[in-house]
Every structure is written in C-alpha cells, then in structure tokens.
Amino acid sequence: MIKKAVLPVAGLGTRFLPATKASPKEMLPILDKPIIQYAVEEAQRVGIEDFLFITGKHKRAIEDHFDKAYELEERLKSAGKLQLLEKINCFENLNFAYIRQKQPKGLGDAILYAKPFVNNEPFVVILSDDVIDPEYSVLSDMIEIYNRTHSTVIALEEVPWSDVSRYGIVAGKKVEDYYLIEDLIEKPEQSQSPSNLAIIGRYILTPQIFKYLGKLEPGKGGEIQLTDALKMLLNETQIYGYIIKGKRYDAGEKLGYLKTIFEFALKDSEIASDFKAFLKERITNL
C-alpha cells in the first residue's frame, strides 16, 4: 500500500504576480477550492493519509487551510450551516507535515527533503499545478502498475511539439498499457527532443531516488532536477511511464488557469447551466 504523498509547494508563482506576492499560488481558487486542495483530494481518493508539503516563504496559508478551524466551525454549527461545515471539515483523517526548503534549488532538491518522512517506503509526488479531472484517477492506474512492478512510475502526456521545452521529456518503448522509459531530458529544445511525450506532475517514487538526488549537480535552469535523478536511476532499475487518460489542465500559468476554471465551472452542478448561458451569449458578442 502507498500511504504517503509529497507535495512540493515552494515555487514562487511569478507568473501570477502580484497575486502571489504575499500568498501562495497553490491557494488560488478553482471555483470554491484552492488548487492545492484538488491535489490532496486526488491522493485521498487512493487511500493516502500522510502528506508532506515542501514549502517556502509566504506559504503559511497552506498550513492554515488544512488545519482545524475551531472558531469558524463553531460559528457554522450555531448558524445551522451544516453543508458548509462539511466542506471545511473533510481532512479530519489526514495527517499533514510541513518542511521548508532552505533555498529555491529546484524540484529535485525539494524532493530530497522528504527522505526522513518517506522512511523507506514508496511514495507519490504530486505537482499541484497539473490539475487532473477529478472524475478520473491517474494515481489509481499508476499504483496498479507499481503493484505489478515495484518500480518507479511516472505520468506522461503527448504534448504539442512546440511545447516540449516546457516539460521533462522521455524516450520510451510502448509495452502493453505502459512505456518502458529509455531516456529522460528536462525541458529540451524542440530540435533536441527525443519525443513529444511529456512528464506530467504525478510520480510514484521509491526511496532509491534519494541516492541520486543527493549526488546531483545543478541541471536545467541551474536547479537540481528530478528528471536528472530519474535518468541516473535508469542505470539501476526500470522506470515505467503511464499516459494519463483524463483531461489535464496546467493551472500554473494564466491561460491554463483560466481554462481550468472554465472546465470546472461547466461541470459544477450549482452554476453550470447559468454559466453555459452566459458563455453562449458572450460568444455571440465577441
């Protein structure tokens, strides 16, 4: 059983400045929930109970969000607002731990902070910028592959060639429902890219990764890259890639964030029909 999830949330969120000057980008809402809550709920649905957030400056709001809010709960209770009470009370059975990354040295460096928490068990890494349609669970498919192979599993998606320089890219061989990874490269130039198969922010890692993360020199962008550690891990073991079947949204940049909100609004039972009517009217007036 995989019981632990690591959520790196130390990024500065510069694409959303000034909104992210004093508050975390992970707390930007998609309708009525912050982005980070979708990540936690996604992990919760596959039975994960222990969460470690790798945080940085200005990330306190994330801790507060997952904390118990006694005063608010009392107020909602006495006002008889039980549905709202349920909405803020859904993390009771989960455990949250937080550790600060000392310097912004990249995703690979952030994951290294999880070593004591992981305690020699496999774990999930979720990059919350990648929001995946909650109707589908890529983690449950990935865990199924992990249970068969006991090896690292990474989520993949075919992206337009013009976008390869925004992702970690893999080369691999398709076998049954997964890819056997043969090479990985962080954010290559389009002309250097071995494929258009991009790494999406869901990983099942084993403690083997720490050995390599600890040895890495800075890579792309002068940062310690998880992709580079995975490439080194290939010398020791197989890595499996799994193409995500659900829709994935990049809520880490403005247009992607807006698209995510639109898609969620179109599925929201409370506002979908009014929102559709608004959109239809608005489009005719473009």
DSSP string, the chain: ---EEEEE-----GGGTTTTSSS-GGG-EETTEEHHHHHHHHHHTTT--EEEEEE-TT-HHHHHHHS--HHHHHHHHHTT-HHHHHHH-TTTT-EEEEEE-SS---HHHHHHTTHHHHTTS-EEEE-TTEEE-TTS-HHHHHHHHHHHH-SEEEEEEE--GGGGGGSEEEEEEEETTEEEEEEEEES--GGG-S-SEEEEEEEEE-THHHHHHTTPPP-GGGS--HHHHHHHHTTTS-EEEEE--S-EEETTSHHHHHHHHHHHHHT-TTTHHHHHHHHHHHHHT-
Binding to ligand G1P by residue 219, rule CB under 6 A? no
9 is an interface residue for ligand G1P by CB under 6 A: no
Which parts of 67-126 interact with ligand G1P (CB under 6 A)? 107
Identified binder of ligand G1P from the candidate list 37, 152, 227, 260, rule CB under 6 A: 227
Among 40, 48, 199, 265, binds ligand G1P (CB under 6 A): 199
Total residues interacting with ligand G1P, rule: CB under 6 A = 14
The distance of closest approach from Cβ of residue 281 to ligand G1P in the complex, given in angstroms and rounded to an integer, is: 35
Report the residue number whose CB is nearest to ligand G1P: 168
- Of 52, 198, 229, 233, which lies in the binding site for ligand G1P, with binding defined by CB under 6 A? 198
Binding span for ligand G1P by CB under 6 A among 127-135, 144-152, 207-215, 241-249? 127-135
CB of 239 to ligand G1P, least distance (A): 13
User: Could you say whether residue 159 binds ligand G1P (CB under 6 A)?
Assistant: no
Q: Which is nearer to ligand G1P, 127 or 138 (CB)?
A: 127
CB of 163 to ligand G1P, least distance (A): 10
What's the CA gap between 128 and 50, in Å, rounded?
A: 16
127 binds ligand G1P (CB under 6 A): yes
When asked if residue 130 is in the footprint of ligand G1P (CB under 6 A), the reply is yes
Q: Decide if residue 172 touches ligand G1P (CB under 6 A).
A: no
Return the range that interacts with ligand G1P (CB under 6 A); candidates 46-54, 222-230, 233-241, 261-269: 222-230
Query: What dihedral angle (degrees, nearest 10) is formed by the CA atoms of 115, 118, 123, 125?
Result: -50
Phi, psi at 188, each rounded to 5°: -75, 160
* Site membership for ligand G1P, residue 186 (CB under 6 A): yes
Decide whether 92 or 217 has the Cβ nearer to ligand G1P: 217
The residues of the shown chain that bind ligand G1P, judged by CB under 6 A, are 107, 127, 129-130, 167-168, 186, 198-201, 225-227
